[in-house]
Structures are given as C-alpha cells and as structure tokens.
Structure 1
Amino acid sequence: MSSSLTPPDFGLPPEPAASPQSQSPDRGRRVSRETLEKIERSSAAAPNTPVAKDVMSEKKIFNRLMEKPVKTPAETRIFTISNQKGGVGKTSTAVNLAAALALKGMNVLVVDNDPQGNASTALNIEHSTDINSTYDVLIDDMPLADVVTKAPDLENLWVAPANIDLAGAEIELVSMVARETRLKTALADYATYREREGLPRLDYIFIDCPPSLGLLTINAFVAAREVLIPIQAEYYALEGLSQLLKNISMIQKHLNSELFISTIMLTMFDGRTNLAAQVAEEVRGHFPDQVLDAVIPRSVRISEAPSYQQTVLTYDPQSTGSVAYLKAAIEIAIKGK
C-alpha cells in the first residue's frame, strides 16, 4: 500500500469500453428495497428554487459517485477509528463509511468496541444487556460468529454490537491472559468461520473505539492494520493527538509492527469560516499524505440520522453529508489499491 495520496477523480466515469468480464473485481451494489425506494423518491423533480437547485446538485454528485466503480481490496482492510478527544465524529465516521462502502458493494463489518453502543444504535442493532456483545467476545471467549448480526438496511453490512457491560471490560481485562490480543484472535477466528461456512470474505472492518486509550482501544490497535483518525475542524483539533501518536508508536514497537496511520479525516467542517480553513491547512501540513481530500461538513442530517437508528446514507441518501461520506469512502478505497 502506498503512503502517498493521489487526489481521486470524483467525476462521472467515462462510458465503459471494457467487456463485462474485465469488470469482475467490481461488485454490484446490494441494498435493501427500502433504501432503493428512498433514493428513487429523493430523485424526483424538485421546485425551481435556489435551495432545490442545491439539492439537485447534490443528487447529481451522489448519482455520479454511485456509478463510479470501486474495486475490492486484495485482502481484508481492518481500520481502528480512534481519537482520545470526544465528540469528533468517531462513531459517525465508522458507521457512515461502512454504509457507503456497503452501498458500493463491499462486504463490511462494524465492530462496536465502545460501551456506549452508539454504532449499534445507528445501525439499528439491538444491544441491550440480554444480547451477546463484544463484551462476551473479549471476556468470555465467545466466538464472534455468535455475536455478529446483519444490519437491516444494507444486505452486505454486518455488526458486532456493544452494550453497557463493556464498561467493566477495561478492569476485567487487566488480569486476563493475552489481554491485548483477544480481539485480534476473535477476528482471525471469525474470518476462518466465514470461509468454512462459505460466506463472502470481508473487504473492510471498522472498529469503533471509546474516547480513551485503555485496553479496549489497545485491543483495537492490535487487531487492526490501519488507524483512521477523525479530527474536528475547530480550534483544539490537534489537542491530545500527540499522546495518541505516542501510544500508536508503542503499539507498533511492542504489539503490532504492521500498524500505521493510513487516514486522517476532517469532520464537522464549516467552509464558511476562516478557522476551518486554517485548521485544515495546519492538519494537512502535519500529515500531508494521510489527510483525505474529502471533508465531512457540519450537517443536520448526519446528526439526525442516529435518532432514527440509521446512517445518513439510508436516512437521507442524497444529502450533503451522504455525498461527503461517499466521497471519503471512495477515496479510501482508491488510496488502498
């Protein structure tokens, strides 16, 4: 994988000249009937007003992005989404990138490793204390196959839910054997299970972490190969990042030499302010090869979607937030060739 980032072309792809066989690495999209109907309804003609014109523009961009082919990675890409600063959009990034890649035909797993269980909520997955969760995987050695469930809105998206029991896992893990590698082992066993059962190989795994650097996050770092860091485009954007980088360096040295920061994403971006532009410039100056060109704007739709137990891509498929996450997902896929 190259560490340099070539800005992707988000435009409408040219008319295909190759035969269907040459397109075999690009999977067709598999989405629920309800999601397809929502996309069709939102594509209906709108009044000729300035706001409507903006909406139609987003629809055109969305449709072009949906037409752009995305090839499957050569092997499963496992991302840990982490930032010890809270409220920067870790969970929104995890679930919406997963949904975007699932819309593009990828097979995706979201591992909810946060006791709050917000990723489970956004993907409409039951996560009460009566449900098997990542707690049972980490503490009781339950197979991940007994925990993972399909997301209802996207056929090729799976979720390992979390519940409040996970809050005690930090303490319980301290005295356990192989405490840092339990999630890694569980994911490896799950990959073997899927192969044995004839299930499709996972293309992407996103691990959503709590806003801390404890054993839950360490397990995620050891299980993953790539780190994705969401950074809020505000004044304290880089606050605490140095400690996160030190921890990643320690993980690389002692537990997972393959771990690296592949992606940094600017979230809650308000293009109307000079501050957002200044923060973006500063972050890109520090991490020129890792920062995505796509930025995630401040969006009411992104904020509303979890309250309806949906991602923004199923809640309002052609909103500004949906387009932004779809752009980011395609860029990540292209970057990982």
Structure 2
Amino acid sequence: MARKTDSRTQLPGLEELPTGATGRPVQVFEEPAPLKSHGPARIVSLCNQKGGVGKTTTTINLGAALAGYGRRVLAIDFDPQGALSAGLGVPTHDVTTIYDLLLSGSKDPHEAIQQTSVEGLDIIPANIDLSAAEVHLVNEVAREQILARVLRKVSNDYDIILIDCQPSLGILTVNALTASHGVLIPLECEFFALRGVALLIETIDKVRDRLNPAIELDGILATMYDSRTLHSREVLERVVDAFGDRVLDTVIGRTVKFPDASVAGVPITEFAPEHAAAKAYKQAARELIQRGAVA
C-alpha cells in the first residue's frame, strides 16, 4: 500500500526543522567564549537513587568536556565504590579522601585535591571508607551541611564543582544537595529508571524547603539511549512529556566505548575524541553553559 502524504501546503520559509531524539527541533549550541576570570564555582550534584544510570560516566566526561572549554573543574567522588576516582585513573588508598575531610574540620581540602590526566580537571577521591561516614555523621551538629563547609574552602579556585553521588537518598546525598546550587539527573532510558525520578525530585524539593532554598533542577540528561529499540524511544518520550524543557536536548547514546575508556582511566573525550559519545558530552557541556547551569 502506498504511503499517504500530507496534502497540506508547505508555506515558503517555514520548512519543517529536523527533530532530535527528544522529539524537539535539533538545537545548535555554539562553542562558549573563554572566561576572563575564574571562580567562585557553581556546585552541581549528579544524582539518581538508582544505580547504573550513568552518573559517574557523566561526571567524568562532562567534567572533561567543560575543562576542554577552558573551565576549571573539580570533581568530588562521593560514592564509597570510588568509581569516579578509578575512571579518572586516580589512586584512592594512602591518600587524603573526601571521607577524611568530612570527619576532620581541621584538614585543608587542598591537600586532598589530585590532578587528572585532563588539564583543568581535578578530583577529590573516595574509597570504601566513605561507607562509614553516615554512621559517624549521625550525631554531628548540622550534619547535612558538612560537605558545604568543606567545599566553601576551595570554591574560589574553580568554575564548576561536580559531585558524583552514590545511588541512594541517604545522609551523603542530602549533604551533596545541601551544598549544591543545582542538580543534574542522569536518567537511563529504561522503565525502572524512570519510576524513581518523581521520588528524587520530591527529595530535592524537601531539601530546598528545609536546608537549601537556592537549589534548582538544572536538567535531566537521558543516557544509554538506543534509537533502535522501541523501549528506549518510548521511555524518552514519556520523560519529555512529564518534565518538558527540564529534559536536555542532548541525549547520550549507549556504546561499549564507555567501559573501554573507564578501563584506560581516561574520559571518552580523550580515549575516542571523534566518537559520537564524546561529541554528545561536549554538546551537553555547551548546552549546560547556554542554560546558565555552568559558567
């Protein structure tokens, strides 16, 4: 059967724009101008209580992309698994970690900062010791604000601080949200990942109401998208319907290059700079800069 065509007349100058994966017209995000000065940093938590949705991968590659645009970036490994530190090839044992800084108000955070292979991208590492932090912090005064006090001491040295949160909504994640100006939610294009987003946004609203009135949702970044599967397309469509413009136009596709880059201990922007995934994270960096989520 012949395919039906639209009989409506196309007006001159109103040609239909190509649409992206989100169903919206494809946006072009220009390369940002270099900064004339640096700091104080805007602090952004990458948060989702579900594991395996791309939080660490996004922190690594978004941080590297922003550094490539001349931004000074500090990544905070705030997950006891230490995947962010490993993914950037940074040692986590016999060094000062974020756990040491949380427990000792006298330690200088600059002592914990380590340089990565990416110029302009530094990290404060974490290891399994961080899993004991919730027990130690439970009796602390203003325990939700301890990370904020730590980051205050290094904020002026950076343009953006990215916090890679653990997959939970416990005291560590609340600390990260209390310290942050914004939240970026990496969301796997899979049904079970979608279910928890409303709960996470409810938690952000509670933190805004009780602890940090300035926090805002910077966006939802769709990850692990596979245009070949109906499931991925339907989940992304539902996310856009539910959250509208809060969903970034940039979509990160699924690829085996991410674990390969992690094994090498470098971002995909260095491991395979011409790969579509590397270009997608560079676009995400430009989009966040244009949205004002990053300087």
Q: TM-score, normalised by structure 1?
A: 0.76
Q: Alpha-carbon deviation of 1:74?
A: 8.2
AA aligned to 1:158 is: D
Note if 1:158 corresponds to 2:114: no
Q: Deviations over 1:145-191 (max 9, x none)?
A: 1111111x222111000011101001111011221111111111123
Q: Secondary structure at the match of 2:100?
A: helix
| TM alignment of 1:310-325, pairs within 5 A | 310-325=266-281
Contact 1:252 1:258 in 2 (8 A): yes
- Trace 1:57-206 onto structure 2 (pairs within 5 A): 76-128=41-93, 130-141=94-105, 142-151=107-116, 153-191=117-155, 201-206=157-162
The Cα shift of 1:76 comes to: 2.3
Query: How many angstroms does 1:143 deviate by?
Result: 2.1
Q: Which residue of 1 aligns with 2:181?
A: 225
Aligned to 2:8: none
CA gap 1:300/1:218 in 2 versus in 1, 3 angstroms: same
Identical pairs, percent: 39
Contact kept, 8 Å, 1:77 with 1:204, in 2: the verdict is yes
1: CA distance, partners of 2:40 / 2:233: 36
Q: Equivalent of 2:196, from 232, 240, 245?
A: 240
One-letter amino acid of the counterpart of residue 320, structure 1: A
Aligned amino acid, residue 213 of structure 2: S
SS class of match (1:294): strand
Structure 1: how far apart are the matches of 2:61 and 2:273? 11
AA aligned to 2:237 is: E
Residue of structure 2 in register with 1:292 after alignment = 248
- Decide which of 31, 34, 42 is 1:26's aligned counterpart: 34
Contact 1:271/1:277, CA 8 A, preserved across alignment: yes
CA contact (8 A) 1:6 1:335 kept: no
SS in 1 for 2:71: coil
Q: Any conservation in 2 of the 1:8–1:331 contact (CA below 8 Å)?
A: no
Cα distance in 2 for residues equivalent to 1:73 and 1:189: 15
Residue in 2 that maps onto 1:252: 208
Task: Return the offset for 1:242.
Answer: 2.1
| Gap runs ≥5 in structure 2 | 1-23
Q: Which residue of 1 aligns with 2:236?
A: 280
Secondary structure, counterpart of 1:238 in structure 2: helix
The answer on whether the counterparts of 2:60 and 2:88 sit within 8 Å (CA) in structure 1 is: yes
How far did 1:7 drift? 6.6
After alignment, is 240-249 or 160-169 more displaced? 240-249
Name the residue aligned to 2:262: 306
Task: Provide TM-score, normalisation by structure 2.
Answer: 0.86
Partners in 2 of 1:73 and 1:236 — Cα distance?
40
By how many angstroms is 1:73 displaced?
8.7
Q: Which amino acid aligns with 2:34?
A: D
Q: Quick check: 1:213 aligned with 2:232?
A: no
Conserved? CA contact 2:258–2:268, under 8 Å: yes
Q: Give, in whole Å, the separation in 1 of the partners of 2:230 and 2:222.
A: 15
1:329 to 2:246 alignment: no
User: SS state of the match for residue 99, structure 1?
Assistant: helix
CA RMSD of aligned residues (A): 2.1
The CA deviation at 1:300 is: 0.9
Q: How does 1:35-54 map to 2 (within 5 A)?
A: none
**CA-to-aligned-CA distance 1:191-237 (integer Å, 9 cap, x gap):** 3xxx5xxxxx4111100000001111011001101000011111223
Contact 1:72–1:203 (CA under 8 A) maintained in structure 2: no
* Amino acid in the other structure paired with 1:286: A
Paired residues, number: 269
| Mapped partners of 1:256, 1:102: distance in 2 | 27
Cα deviations across residues 52-100 of structure 1 (Å, max 9, x unaligned)? xxxxxxxxxxxxxxxxxxx989852211000001110010011110001
Q: 2:221 aligns with which of 261, 265, 278?
A: 265
Q: Which runs of 5+ in 1 are unaligned?
A: 14-22, 28-70, 196-200
SS in 1 for 2:133: helix
> Does the residue aligned with 2:172 lie in a helix, a strand or coil?
helix
Distance 2:192 2:130 in 1: 29
